[in-house]
Structure 1
Amino acid sequence: MALTIGQKAPDFSIASTSGKNFSLYHDTKGKPCILYFYPKDFTTGCTKEACGFRDTFELFEGLNITIVGISRDDIPTHHQFKAQLRLPFDLLSDPDGKVSRAYDTTPPFMDFFTKRTTYLLDADHVIRAAYENVFSAEKHIKQMVAKVSAVPVLK
């Protein structure tokens, strides 16, 4: 089960395709953010999800909402995935699953796997929406579009 709405999101710092570590509290200070956790680069569902966020990027950017994707893939693989799909947002590498565990996206007894889970954080890093559905990548984007329209995430 995903973390709770109204809960402060755990801070973390991990490698990013930007070439530096991404620190949640530092890099999104005063800004809302979408964190989407996904199982693996270049898989069918994960490709659809990444393309969905790419195709709605302008909507989120217009609302000053940062989008980052997080999986256990390494940075070179993320760079290839990002380039091939022309993703306008950064991908973060969580090879040991530490961030995935902190965000409750690792199923019990399957420490090697990351559940497809998306979080919408407000400018104070409080979770305002969460959506978990391993099998429907497209619904993650629809849910976040609906939530940013209904939830005051901007300060």
Structure 2
Amino acid sequence: MALQVGDKIPSFKAIDTNGATFESDSVVGKQSVVIYFYPKDDTRVCTEQACSFRDQYEDFKALGAEVIGISADSVKSHQKFASRHQLPFKLLSDSDKKLRKLFGVPNDLLGLIPGRVTYVIDKDGIIRLIFNSLSGKIHIKKALEALNNSL
């Protein structure tokens, strides 16, 4: 069953861009978090989305929020993607798609492409926004609006 607005984010672990184990409890429940699932590193829309989060990263930090990107790409792919585009936030590898299943992220385009969904979680670990759209850039605007509204 997919997570809904008002649900508490379950604890999870994944390997981050640095090859280290990331534990969600290190940030969830301590500060606001924006978790965005995206289909694939270095595709046009995914790159636009990541770079838009990068370009407004200080706005997220000013609101007390951390940004985390998740896709099924390998750690090595994430490292290249993050380095190439100077991404200041963590990317998590979900190669076994366990996180996608845990959150209930649907596939898009007749089930052919992994979904693009953004979750805004407040400092208590409660989901305040779930935004599902193939358009990458609008996710940043919606996430910032949700963070501003929850302050």
Q: Which residue of structure 1 aligns with residue 143 of structure 2?
A: 144
Q: Distance in 1 between matches of 2:3 and 2:29?
A: 20
Judge conservation of contact 2:29–2:122 (CA < 8 Å) in 1. Answer: no
Q: Distance in 1 between matches of 2:30 and 2:121?
A: 11
Offset from partner CA, 1:42-89 (integer Å, 9 cap, x none): 001100100110010000111221101000000000000000111000
Give the TM-score normalised by the residue count of structure 2.
0.92
Q: Which residue of structure 1 aligns with residue 82 of structure 2?
A: 82
Secondary structure, aligned partner of 1:118: strand
Q: Which residue of structure 2 aligns with residue 21 of structure 1?
A: 21
Q: Distance in 1 between matches of 2:122 and 2:18?
A: 22
Judge conservation of contact 1:28–1:66 (CA < 8 Å) in 2. Answer: no
Q: Aligned residues: percent identity?
A: 35
Equivalent AA in structure 2 for residue 12 of structure 1: F
Q: Which residue of structure 2 aligns with residue 37 of structure 1?
A: 37
Q: Distance in 2 between matches of 1:82 and 1:55?
A: 13
Q: Distance in 1 between matches of 2:67 and 2:25?
A: 14
Judge conservation of contact 2:2–2:102 (CA < 8 Å) in 1. Answer: no
Cα distance, 1:114 vs structure 2: 2.2
Instruction: Give 4+ residue runs of structure 1 displaced > 4 Å after superposition.
Output: none
Q: Structure 2: any 5+ residue segments left out of the alignment?
A: none
1:102 lines up with 2:123 in the alignment: no
Give the TM-score normalised by the residue count of structure 1.
0.89
Indicate how the Cα distance of structure 1 residues 115 and 126 shifts in structure 2: closer, same or farther if over 3 A, else same: same
Of 2-11 and 13-22, more deviation after overlay is shown by 2-11
Judge conservation of contact 1:2–1:132 (CA < 8 Å) in 2. Answer: no
Judge conservation of contact 1:2–1:131 (CA < 8 Å) in 2. Answer: no
Identify the structure with the greater strand proportion.
2
Equivalent AA in structure 2 for residue 104 of structure 1: G
Of 24-33 and 136-145, more deviation after overlay is shown by 24-33
Equivalent AA in structure 1 for residue 139 of structure 2: H
Judge conservation of contact 2:70–2:92 (CA < 8 Å) in 1. Answer: yes
Q: Distance in 2 between matches of 1:107 and 1:142?
A: 22
Q: Which residue of structure 2 aligns with residue 54 of structure 1?
A: 54
CA RMSD of aligned residues (A): 1.9
Offset from partner CA, 1:100-143 (integer Å, 9 cap, x none): 01111133994x84200000001121101110002x10110110
Q: Distance in 1 between matches of 2:86 and 2:66?
A: 16
Q: Distance in 2 between matches of 1:47 and 1:34?
A: 17
